A = this chain, B = another copy of it.
Amino acid sequence: MRRTITGFSNPTVKFLRSLREKKHRKAEGKFLAEGLRLLTDARKSGHLPEMLVMASAREAHPLLDALETDVLAAGGEVIEMGADLLAKVTGKDNPQAVAGVYTEFGTGLAALDRSSAKIWLVAQALRDPGNLGTMLRTGDAVGAGGLILIDDCADPFSVEAVRASMGAVFTQSIAKARWEEFLPWLRGGGNGHGGQLVAASLRDAVDYRGAPYAAPCFLLVGNESRGLPEDYEAECDLRVTMPMKGRADSLNAAVAAAVLAYEALAVLG
């Protein structure tokens, strides 16, 4: 179905704007992705928005036409609105903007096939959605299976995380779990070799370079300010440390995950 919306008070505009807030995303089970490149990447990964939103006055673009055709064929909605309204939805003053509404994916540990990839990223209590999105993007690049969110993390379906993921939110598996659920799942799977849990750590750690990474390798990074709780580190099968030659004693969480992930990739091949 194709509709044109003209008023700020239109319920669809309100619905779209509400998806910028976590509580509304969770209540609806939906999230927003923005930009033609991101929506096209999603389409290539087999994800179509159930609602496609674009400016009434816009330049034609073959990728946008393709999106529109597919969304309509799949029974989705295509919504046109003025540039002023669209700016309210996307928070951007860009009349070429396009946005899509997607259904959130399943996020349980049970759905993960740990044998499908050598590397998995695990974030514990990460608060910055940009870091989560960047970790998804890095995960895609190293061929990771997905991102597991432990304890209270930012929302990987927030607009900021989806944008930073550069489409990897559509290609990486995402699971959420408490630590108390994650550990038994990890230890119980794969006929006794559920996976190797690796933490970047300053305590009792070996050099990250050429460390004995083993697949499936779960790379765990902790909260931006506090790092990993000590008892979480103690549970890890391997603690590795990266050179820190300056004043600081830690890296940005997404950077640490990436340096570790590329090292694990080099070792695991």
Contact = CB atoms under 8 A, between A and B. Distances in A.
Contacts of A255: 134, 137-138, 254-255, 258
B141 A244 contact: yes
Interface in A234-269: 242-248, 250-252, 254-255, 258-259, 262-263, 265-266
A115 interface: no
Interface in A131-177: 134, 137-143, 164, 166-168, 171
A140 B258 contact: no
A interface, size bucket: 35 or more
A247 B45 CA distance: 9
Number of copies of this chain that the complex holds: 2
A167 B246 CA distance: 11
Which secondary structure dominates chain A's binding surface? helix
Interface string A103-133: 0000000000000000000000000001000
A241 B243 CA distance: 23
Given A252-B138, A252-B164, A143 B245 contact: yes
A209 interface: yes
A44 interface: yes
B243 A137 contact: no
Listed from nearest, the 6 A-B pairs whose CB atoms lie closest are A143-B245, A140-B246, A255-B258, A134-B252, A259-B262, A141-B244
Given A140-B246, A166-B248, A255-B255, 14 more contacts: A41-B247, A45-B247, A141-B244, A141-B246, A141-B251, A142-B245, A142-B246, A143-B243, A143-B246, A171-B246, A243-B262, A243-B265, A259-B259, A262-B263
